[in-house]
């Protein structure tokens, strides 16, 4: 909503730019004529010009979303070009020269047709006005179009362009109705408008740098989300923080939550979610909850060529929305792998939709490596722009959506658990498709390492983010200094679910980065398992670390990623299992001491 208002104001404020001066005489030439028959058709003509651009954005704006990570970089480069057009008016005029030329020719044509009906002439003049306005409007429209390319074309993109057109038309309407008084005021405001324009250009170039370095994805992620998508999604996701989530990953429900910012497909409820209908009895009629969305928004496919909903007709399809550092997602993988192997020959296709939570999870090379290391051999759609996520109206990691052979979604499941019911649905839909001998006992799967099921009855610690964007329970006495290096110390005593830093750290929105030669993180927890999402700064070497529990080496309580003496190495961006306790579970303090600089710490999870 906020970006729509910004688009409207952007259209209205273009009238304050010096490059509007050549257009104003054309507009004021209609001020002494009836508004309905002259001024209004002019505005309609201008709106039609913008409508054509909006349609172009809706049809072709998703090119980068379907290209790959290189297409995204091309879109970012274009974004930088449009930022420069705001900062450098001369550059903008050269870039938009073809449109200005076309507008001039159309103006001449409209004037030559002076004997034609006034309404038609006014419409043509309005179209010409829209083209002549290109040096002012072009950069803003370019930003919206590039945002569409990064975020994926949608009805929302078209509406943003219509909002821009409405703002521009409103400015013209005021100019026509009030006339010379507005013209005089505008001339006095041109200098201020130019400075505003340049300030926006600087902000845009700063945003380009943020996107290119991944700073913008402190949400997408969560966009959302963050992806990265267009500016609309980034802005909305920063406002609707992840702190509003109902259930965090690692909680009793085994689900991570991401606020939805985009409505789903035509088969969803007004809120944008697939209509939820609970069905608890085996073989009961399954409701139709929606349609299997197009999968064309994936930026890349792993283990498979690109798949489409049409190609999957006749198959039962299980969509698993996941991300490779999410502990809840990891614990569902043993079941997904088992179902894919067991029912593949019967017509089941399991598809993992990898939607990143953290910025580093957007790297396709890392996603491929994680997929291989985790033993995922079924198709994986890399959904870096959340196109499939939005089409499903999804909000959770992990999430199952099971579609029948006709492409209708018949069942969903958010989070871990209830695997027996999900397998019953698979069997039922395979039977409906004509398969025989699909009824069998549910798979009894036991995962290992981080993929082992959580000991929920003993989990009293929830997912905890290290970055200040959602940090809770931080008790270092110095307090958080955002985006700057500070020397932190650990308190002598900590309550359950309190945590602290020690050493020189730079705490950002999404993670904390160790800048000193060594440093520590401590957490007072109650759970069988402790995991920490870790990575290294760009160009940094692997980071050595040592884990202790209540001041002693973990011994038999060591996790899969450390030795009994507590030693381990951060050699990639992923989730590390630090603790797996045998025997009695009680409140304990885990200390992670990093022996080298450059480590990034993102989030604790428990099991």
User: Above 60 in pLDDT, residue 114?
Assistant: no
Q: What confidence tier does 480 reach under pLDDT thresholds 50, 70, 90?
A: very high
State residue 67's pLDDT score. Answer: 40
Please classify residue 280 by burial: count the beta carbons closer than 10 Å to its beta carbon, then call 0-12 exposed, 13-18 middle and 19+ buried: exposed
Q: Tell me which of 179-193, 208-222, 257-271, 456-470 is least confident.
A: 257-271
Q: Regarding beta strands 316-322 and 348-354, do their DSSP bridges make them parallel or antiparallel, or are they unpaired?
A: parallel
Q: What are the C-alpha distances in Å from 243 to residues 246, 468, 472, 524?
A: 8, 11, 9, 21
Q: Following DSSP, what letter does each residue of 196-244 receive, concatenated?
A: HHHHHHHHHHHHHHHHHHTGGGGSBT--BTBTB--HHHHHHHHHS-GGG
- Residue tagged 């033993």 (tokens): 375
Q: Could you tell me the CA-to-CA distances from 392 to 311, 320, 341 in Å, in that order?
A: 18, 11, 25
Length of the chain in residues, anyone? 607
Q: What integer pLDDT is reported at residue 218 of this predicted model? A: 38
Between 481 and 163, name the one with better pLDDT.
481
pLDDT of residue 297: 87
- Dihedral sign from CA coordinates of 459, 461, 462, 466: negative
Strand ranges inside 439-539, DSSP E: 464-465, 485-488, 499-507, 512-525, 529-536
Least confidently predicted of 54-68, 302-316, 458-472: 54-68
440: pLDDT strictly greater than 80: no
| pLDDT score at 377 | 94
Q: What is the pLDDT of residue 213?
A: 52
For the beta carbon of residue 431, count every other beta carbon within 10 angstroms.
16
Q: What is the pLDDT of residue 254?
A: 65
**Which residues, including other chains, have CB under 8 Å from residue 563's CB and lie 6 or more apart?**
none
Token pair of 500 as six digits: 């602290």
The predicted-structure confidence for 135-175, as pLDDT tens digits, reads as follows 455 455 555 555 544 444 455 556 666 677 777 777 767 76
Question: Which region among 123-137, 297-311, 474-488, 571-585 has the lowest average model confidence (pLDDT)?
Answer: 123-137
**pLDDT confidence of residue 185:** 57
Asked whether residue 397 carries a pLDDT value surpassing 70, the answer given is: yes
Instruction: For residue 84, give the DSSP letter.
Output: H
Task: Name which of 506, 499, 472, 526 is nearest 591 in CA terms.
Answer: 499
Candidate from 32-36, 192-196, 231-235, 544-548 with smallest mean pLDDT = 231-235
- Count the Cβ atoms, other than its own, within 10 Å of residue 481: 14
Q: Check whether 291 has a pLDDT greater than 50.
A: yes
Of 180, 159, 183, 203, nearest to 51 by C-alpha is: 159
- Say what percent of the chain tops pLDDT 70: 56
535 has pLDDT over 80: yes
Of the chain, the end-to-end C-alpha distance in Å amounts to: 39
Region 486-497: mean pLDDT is 94
Of the segments 245-254, 356-365, 523-532, which one has the largest average pLDDT value?
A: 523-532
User: Which is nearest to 510 in space by CA: 559, 590, 579, 573?
Assistant: 573
Pairing verdict, β 529-536 and 574-580: antiparallel
Please tell me whether residue 127 adopts helix, strand or coil conformation: helix
* Residue pLDDT, tens place only, 363-388: 999 999 999 999 999 999 999 999 99
pLDDT of residue 604: 96
Task: Kindly tell me if the per-residue pLDDT of 394 is higher than 80.
Answer: yes
Cα separation, 147 vs 141, whole angstroms: 10
pLDDT: which is higher, 207 or 590: 590
Average pLDDT over residues 416-429: 91
For residue 586, the SS3 value is: coil
Residue 25 has pLDDT above 60, yes or no: no
| pLDDT score recorded for residue 5 | 72
Work out whether the CA dihedral 309, 311, 314, 315 comes out positive or negative: negative
Give the lowest-confidence range in 24-38, 130-144, 588-602: 130-144
Domains of the chain: 2-199 (no CATH), 219-454 (3.40.30.10), 457-606 (2.60.120.260)
Under 8 Å CB-to-CB from 203, ≥6 apart: which residues?
none
Of 231-240, 268-277, 499-508, 521-530, the least confident: 268-277
Q: Does residue 560 contact residue 450 with C-beta atoms inside 8 Å? A: yes
Q: How confident is the model at residue 204 (pLDDT cuts 50, 70, 90)?
A: low
Per the listing, tokens 């910004």 go with: 6
Phi, psi of 319 (to 5 degrees): -95, 125
Q: How far apart are CA 525 and CA 222, in angstroms?
A: 25
To the nearest whole number, what is the mean pLDDT of the chain?
74
Q: How far apart are CA 23 and CA 25, in angstroms?
A: 6
More reliable by pLDDT, 307 or 37: 307
Sign of the alpha-carbon torsion through 356, 359, 363, 367: negative
Tell me, what's the pLDDT at 9? 73
CA distance 202 to 355: 31
Cβ proximity of 591 and 578 under 8 Å: no
The residues near 126 (Cβ < 8 Å, ≥ 6 apart) are 41, 42, 43, 44, 45, 46, 47, 48, 49
Nearest by Cα to 428 from 277, 287, 332: 287
Question: Quick one: tokens of 132?
Answer: 């002549």
CB 173 within 8 A of CB 12: no
- Number of Cβ atoms within 10 Å of the Cβ of 560: 16
Give the separation between CA 457 and CA 252, rounded to whole angstroms.
8
Residue 559 tokens, joined: 């996790």
Calpha distance 335→380 (Å, rounded): 16
Please choose, from the candidates 591, 471, 489, the residue with its C-alpha nearest in 3D space to the C-alpha of residue 530. Answer: 591
- pLDDT at position 475 over 90: yes
- Bridge partners for 574 per DSSP: 534
Q: Can you give the pLDDT at residue 169?
A: 72
Least-confidence region, from 240-244, 319-323, 336-340: 240-244
Does 335 score more than 70 pLDDT? yes
Q: What mean pLDDT do residues 459-468 have?
A: 94
Residue 53 has pLDDT above 60, yes or no: no
Report which of 319, 296, 324 is spatially closest to residue 392, judged by C-alpha positions: 319
Q: Average pLDDT for residues 492-519, to the nearest whole number?
A: 95
The CA-atom distances, in angstroms, between 58 and each of 61, 153, 363, 390 are 6, 5, 27, 16
Quote the CA–CA distance of 604 and 249 in Å, as a whole number.
10
């Amino acid at each position: 909503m906020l970006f729509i208002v910004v688009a409207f104001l952007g259209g209205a404020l273009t009238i304050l730019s010096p490059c509007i001066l050549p257009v104003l005489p054309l507009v004021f030439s209609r001020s002494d004529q009836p508004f309905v028959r002259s001024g209004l058709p002019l505005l309609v003509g201008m709106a039609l010009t913008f409508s054509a651009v909006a349609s172009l954005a809706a049809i072709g704006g998703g090119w980068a979303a379907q290209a790959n990570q290189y297409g995204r970089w091309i879109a970012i480069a274009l974004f930088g070009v449009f930022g420069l057009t705001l900062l450098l008016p001369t550059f903008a005029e050269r870039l938009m020269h073809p449109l200005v030329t076309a507008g001039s020719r159309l103006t001449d044509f409209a004037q030559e047709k002076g004997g034609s009906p006034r309404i038609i002439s006014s419409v043509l003049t309005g179209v010409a006005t829209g083209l002549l306005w290109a040096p002012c409007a072009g950069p803003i429209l370019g930003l919206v179009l590039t945002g569409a390319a990064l975020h994926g074309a949608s009805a929302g993109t078209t509406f943003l362009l219509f909002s821009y057109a409405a703002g521009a038309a409103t400015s013209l309407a005021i100019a026509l109705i009030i006339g010379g008084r507005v013209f005089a005021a505008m001339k006095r405001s041109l200098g201020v408008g130019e400075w505003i324009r340049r300030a926006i250009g600087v902000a845009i170039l700063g945003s380009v740098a943020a996107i290119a370095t991944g700073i913008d994805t402190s949400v997408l992620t969560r966009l959302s989300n963050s992806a990265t998508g267009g500016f609309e999604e980034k802005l909305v996701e920063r406002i609707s923080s992840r702190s509003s989530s109902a259930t965090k990953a690692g909680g009793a429900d085994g689900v991570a939550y991401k606020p939805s910012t985009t409505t789903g497909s035509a088969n969803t409820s007004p809120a944008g979610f697939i209509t939820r209908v609970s069905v608890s009895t085996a073989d009961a009629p399954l409701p139709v909850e929606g349609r299997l969305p197009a999968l064309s928004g994936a930026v890349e496919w792993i283990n498979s060529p690109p798949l489409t909903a049409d190609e999957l007709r006749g198959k039962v399809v299980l969509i698993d929305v996941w991300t490779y550092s999410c502990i809840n997602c990891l614990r569902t993988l043993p079941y997904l792998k088992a179902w894919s192997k067991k029912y593949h020959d019967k017509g089941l296709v399991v598809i993992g939709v990898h939607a990143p939570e953290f910025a580093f999870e957007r790297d396709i090379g890392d996603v491929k490596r994680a997929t291989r290391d985790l033993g995922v051999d079924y198709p994986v759609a890399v959904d870096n722009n959340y196109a499939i996520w939005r089409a499903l109206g999804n909000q959770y990691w992990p999430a199952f959506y099971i579609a029948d052979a006709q492409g209708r979604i018949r069942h969903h499941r958010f989070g871990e658990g209830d695997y027996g019911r999900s397998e019953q649905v698979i069997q039922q839909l395979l039977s409906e498709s004509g398969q025989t001998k699909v009824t069998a006992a549910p798979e009894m799967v036991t995962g290992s390492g981080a993929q082992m099921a959580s000991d929920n009855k003993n989990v009293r610690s929830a997912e905890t983010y290290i970055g200040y964007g959602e940090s809770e329970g931080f008790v270092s006495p110095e307090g958080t200094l955002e985006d700057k290096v500070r020397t932190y110390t650990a308190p002598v005593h900590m309550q359950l679910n309190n945590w602290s830093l020690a050493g020189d750290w730079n705490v950002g929105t999404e993670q904390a980065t160790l800048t000193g030669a060594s440093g520590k993180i401590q957490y007072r927890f109650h759970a069988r398992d402790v995991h920490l999402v870790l990575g290294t700064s760009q160009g940094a070497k692997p980071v050595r670390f040592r884990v202790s529990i209540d001041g002693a080496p973990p011994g038999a309580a060591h996790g899969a990623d450390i030795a009994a003496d507590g030693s381990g190495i951060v050699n990639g961006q992923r989730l590390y299992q630090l603790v797996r306790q045998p025997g009695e579970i009680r409140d304990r303090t885990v200390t992670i001491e990093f022996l080298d600089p450059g480590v990034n710490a993102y989030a604790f999870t428990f099991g």
